[in-house]
Chains A and B, each alone.
Chain A
């Protein structure tokens, strides 16, 4: 069975956007700032070219097409996980207490998601590869969405504002992850009957994400934010302990005023 005209058009549009994104990433030298995202953009071009070529050669429902699709999906999913980790790193690396903790948390989330996927795949004997990729995707897409929103929330609370490119990557990945969570929920039950729809919908969602990434790359990248000024560790600990004592006093003072006045 071959691809329909609409599917061909969707794939064509997707390929065009992936080439454009990849070209812009290199033209704007984004690889200097975000190497994993740049690698991901290149990987998208390689993936779509290989899969499209296999579909044309052997057909949409052929054995090589099936294998190449699921392997490519697994590799791209892994690369997307690296992009999420890179976004966390670029935003949080200057905070000495936060980043090591976030790194451990990200590793834990990845281990849990892959462990869940492995157990699910081992239980499903007919197609463990597809089950592993789908289960990993289900777990990881939810994790990506939560991590990305938490990252933006952290930035809003501590005035750690994301740059325009990083922000567009977060929005694009967030939109795609959110969409995939909904898509997976709806299609989990009826995957076999609606597989074509499932694939087409994810292609559309990903095209939207790519458009979001392409928009800020149309213009030259703004200069990188200057590194945050840091203080020595010993000095910081001493001063912050003093600050903690002060804050405790303020809390007590406010509680006292609230009790006496605002009853």
Chain B
């Protein structure tokens, strides 16, 4: 019976992985002619505009709480911008994470690859924890501007590291390599 349970588990995994592969194929096809600057994390840069828009919405509602204590909920129509921004940050994170994956797979040494992959897994876990918390806060008590700032910091740090890494590859004459990574991610 263990072998039957194993087969069921493998069948479910195979279906999930094949669906993921199909999604990857669609994404790669859709970004074939997309400009390069749109293939790196970029949503986090709009934090200032998002903050301004939220400030204006709060002023319209005449909320009396201090700016740092105001909580924004994704389901309130005027704060849809928060939900969209968090969604954009998620996209940024995933893109940066995929770029890292594309780079580390080219490691010539297994030990180095294992170390890089371990770091990637740790970042991934932290990200999923972050995502779960953000999701919960958006649906319950609401997310504050400080929370959004912290999330932006996380993604901006990752984006900065990604940019630095890609620039280092480009400076060492691997322009084609960087282009292929961005198109595949």
B47 in contact (CB, < 8 A): no
How many inter-chain residue pairs (CB < 8 Å) link A and B?
Answer: 161
Give Cα A142–Cα B108 distance, bound, in whole angstroms.
Answer: 30
Question: In chain B between 148 and 176, which residues have their CB closer than 8 angstroms to a CB of chain A?
Answer: 150, 153-154, 157-158, 161, 164-165, 168-169, 172, 174, 176
The answer for the CA separation of A67 and B53 in the assembled complex, in Å, is 80
Residue in B6, B126, B161, B176 whose CB lies within 8 Å of A142: B6
Inside 8 A of B7's CB, which chain A residues have their CB?
A: 145, 178, 181-182
In the assembled complex, B130 has its CB within 8 A of some CB on chain A: yes
Q: Is A257 an interface residue (CB 8 A)?
A: yes
Pick the contact of B168 from A239, A253, A255 — CB < 8 Å?
Answer: A239
A162: nearest chain-B partner, CB-CB = B21
The answer to whether B4 touches A146, judged by C-beta atoms less than 8 angstroms apart, is: no
Main secondary structure of the interface of A (DSSP, over half): helix
Q: Which residues of A contact B133 (CB under 8 A)?
A: 262
Contact segment of B10-18, B34-42, B62-70, B75-83: B10-18
Residues 171-183 of chain B, each 1 if its beta carbon lies under 8 Å from chain A, else 0: 0101011011000
**A174 proximity list for chain B (CB < 8 A):** 10-11, 14
Q: Which of A95, A242, A254 contacts B154 (CB 8 A)?
A: A254
Query: Chain B interface secondary structure, helix, strand, loop or mixed?
Result: helix
Cross-chain contact A235 with B174 (CB below 8 angstroms):
yes
B84 to chain A, nearest CB (A): 21
- Do A247 and B110 have beta carbons less than 8 Å apart? no
User: In the complex, how many angstroms separate the beta carbon of B138 from the nearest chain A beta carbon?
Assistant: 14
Contact A149 B10 (CB under 8 A): yes
List residues of chain A with CB within 8 A of the CB of B147.
Answer: 261
B140 close to chain A: CB less than 8 A? no
- Contact among B14, B101, B116, B150 with A148 in the assembled complex (CB-CB below 8 Å): B14
- Residues of A close to B21: CB separation below 8 A: 152, 155-156, 161-162, 167
8 Å CB contact of B108 from A158, A182, A236, A246? A236
Contact B14 A152 (CB under 8 A): yes
Interface residues of A in 121-156 (CB under 8 A from B): 142, 145-146, 148-149, 152-153, 155-156
User: Could you tell me if A240 and B112 are in contact, using CB atoms closer than 8 angstroms?
Assistant: yes
Closest residue of chain A to B146 (Cβ to Cβ) is: A261
14 A-B residue pairs with Cβ-Cβ distance under 8 Å, sorted by A, are A97-B107, A98-B113, A145-B7, A156-B17, A158-B101, A158-B105, A159-B24, A159-B185, A161-B28, A185-B1, A239-B172, A240-B116, A251-B126, A253-B154
Q: Which 3 A-B pairs have the closest CB atoms?
A: A247-B119, A156-B20, A254-B126
Mark B residues whose CB is within 8 Å of A: 1, 3-4, 6-7, 10-11, 13-14, 17-18, 20-21, 24-25, 28, 98, 100-110, 112-113, 115-116, 119-120, 122-123, 126-127, 129-130, 133, 147, 150, 153-154, 157-158, 161, 164-165, 168-169, 172, 174, 176-177, 179-180, 184-185
Known: A152-B14, A261-B147. 4 other contacts (CB 8 A): A149-B14, A240-B104, A247-B120, A251-B126
